[in-house]
Structure 1
């Protein structure tokens, strides 16, 4: 009976096998890939021209100047710059996750060396850094969130194309692929800039729990982490493929992982308030250098905690959202943020047109990426596409996503209606 069911839809069966029994990649490779993305963005800033955010956004311009921005000539110039951003940001990131995946470490070293070289040349031959004000913390945080969204949009199709290495895809039980970090990164990115982080003295339930919540939730993560000794039944229940008919059994991973994500969110709120908004003094008064040093320290500490937990307590598990997974998400995201906060030493533009476009419509770009993913799956048998065809489709997908998102920014359209 099972073989007959499979024969009715062989493609579905192949896709199920394609995403099954995956064990993830190493933490060193995840750290390398997490370096590639911010380095590519900073390279574009170093080599790029000034963006609208550096010259004053068009919303702040006079009506006459704003009307001139939508002229055919201006539109062509905008699209030319957007295309250059696409070639300098989207294409290298996409290549890093696909055809260059076997040379991840060498690619990371090459990009990092190129960035250091560009920064050194700018410092030696020009006084640009002395004339350009440093990025604000708000700019750095926005840039970090944009990077997370770009990576998420590009990697949505990882479950469809064989050109993406299987070690980057979501894992079955323990271990971590790059795709496993998506949900956690989304939770953390929103926690760092949440209303609770910006105004921690507001009276609401989240504020009341801000001090005890992380301890309670991470305590549950510790409980899950020690499940092999005291709560083995819970561990076996969560990772088992058997499911009962009850709604809890059908959604067991989602239900039990709520505690881990809740703890992750509250930790993000606490860290966002401590690093960027402050309890009594503003982030500006605290200083960019103060925040930069602490972000680097926090990133290194969370990487250390993750390695210890993964090796000596319990392996990272997205399905359970255990303590090791929470610390890995925190480590990876703060690493990206820490590298982006070095932008003041690199020089160049503060942002690119592509980044401004995604920043205006973060959620809108994500929804658009899902629609485009559906279109790709509707017209192509993605599992059977050759590497060259797959790469061509992914590059076209990335360009269409960039153009539509850029057009929304150009005409000041924001896809948010609530």
Structure 2
């Protein structure tokens, strides 16, 4: 991965300005994908008999978006109040990723009122291609870069937040792609051969996505997290699928290594999964709390020290302490049987 327009040797650890790929550029897209994989429209393939009405799902999505909206507004107020450094061209003057999440959540629930979940992949493809067409051929990309008057004006509310508002289209497409991926992953599987087939399928999908990403970046438009364009959607899916392949290889290796030749390839049910690590269960249980704590601690670290001037030893100490604190908090919540999701 590389950040094409980041400066300095450490630029590869930061976010790109307009085009390029970096580890931090994957964070927002990966968060969207991980949420889509486990949503009700994806998991219904494992529990097809239990699904509420579309209207009830829309109401539930609206309620679950309230905390995100509140967090987005709270972040906006806090940043403006304390004068915390912000990168306006990332989401806009007032917008942030919490607001993007809430918009994506409500919009997708509304679309599912008329769209069958099994059509998620097709809808994601159509929407992302149409959005890419608007970016290139209808001047939408220029609007995102330079504003409505071509001078990077931030006068109107739409101009001020154009990156956050417009990129929601790409994130919605990414969410539907994640739902389709989730429907593949959540299909019931009992035998070792079923998981081997899944591994082969994921490898093929990953290879196809990689080729598509290279073609799109070279012939259409480079990956842009700022725009959430077609190449960004494909790149995010590629990285997620690659990670899933690696995770599945590790899991199958552990299963085979601990079964001592007793693991059935076929013909007999194998329904005992690997025991989920406690920390992973804790994070899954309070994912939004984990994400919020990470954001707050990042801000506190940035405000309390000059991170760019920190030595390697200090940086490692800060990072270890940072991870220890947020993991300890969600672990305590988990062992105390506390869930912060109240909607």
SS of match in other structure, 1:287? helix
2:112 counterpart of 1:206: yes
Q: Using the TM superposition, give the Cα deviation of residue 398 of structure 1 relative to its aligned residue in structure 2, in angstroms.
A: 1.5
The answer to whether the aligner puts 1:192 opposite 2:117 as a matched pair is: no
- Match for 2:203 among 283, 296, 300? 296
CA distance, structure 2, for counterparts of residue 310 and residue 397 of structure 1 = 35
Correspondence list, 1:140-151, <5 A: none
SS at match of 2:112: helix
Q: Structure 1 390/215 Cα, relative in aligned 2: closer, same or farther at 3 Å?
A: closer
Asked if 1:333 is matched to 2:243, the reply is no
Structure 1 residues 178-204: Cα deviation after superposition (integer angstroms, max 9, x where no partner):
111111111111111111112277553
Shift of 1:283: 4.2
Question: Residues 221-262 of structure 1: CA distance to partner in whole angstroms, max 9, x if unpaired?
Answer: 43146x1xx33x322221237123111111111222122111
Residue 172 of structure 1 aligns to a residue whose secondary structure is coil
Residue deviations 1:50-104 (CA, integer Å, cap 9, x gap): xxxxxxxxxxxxxxxxxxxxxxxxxxxxxxxxxxxxxxxxxxxxxxxxxxxxxxx
Query: Highest relative contact order (Cα 8 Å, sep 6+), 1 or 2?
Result: 1
Query: With structure 1 as the length reference, what TM-score do the two structures score?
Result: 0.55
TM-score, structure 2 as length reference: 0.66
Residues 23 and 174, structure 1, Cα contact 8 Å, conserved in 2: yes
- Matching residue of 1:344: 252
Aligned counterparts of 1:354 and 1:415: Cα–Cα separation in 2: 16
- Give the match's secondary structure for 1:264: helix
Instruction: Name the CA distance, whole Å, in 1 between partners of 2:128 and 2:335.
Output: 43
Identify the residue that residue 363 of structure 1 maps to in structure 2: 288
| Separation in 2, partners of 1:176, 1:298 | 20
For structure 1, list consecutive stretches of 5 or more residues without a partner in the other structure: 1-20, 26-161
In structure 2, relative to structure 1, the CA distance for the partners of 1:308 and 1:197 (3 Å cut) is same
- From the two aligned structures, give the one with the greater helix fraction: 1
- Bigger radius of gyration among the two: 1
Residues 42-81 of structure 1 correspond to what in structure 2 (within 5 A)? none
Which residue number corresponds to residue 341 of structure 2? 416
Alignment partner for residue 262 of structure 1, among 165, 172, 176? 172
CA distance in 2, matches of 1:196, 1:165: 40
Total equivalences in the alignment? 253
- The 2-side partners of 1:257 and 1:283 are apart by 36
2:4 and 2:215 mapped to 1: Cα distance?
Answer: 23
Structure 2 residue runs of 5 or longer lacking an equivalent are 55-110, 259-273
Name the Cα RMSD after superposition.
2.8
1:252 aligns with 2:162: yes
Residue 273 of structure 1 aligns with which residue? 183
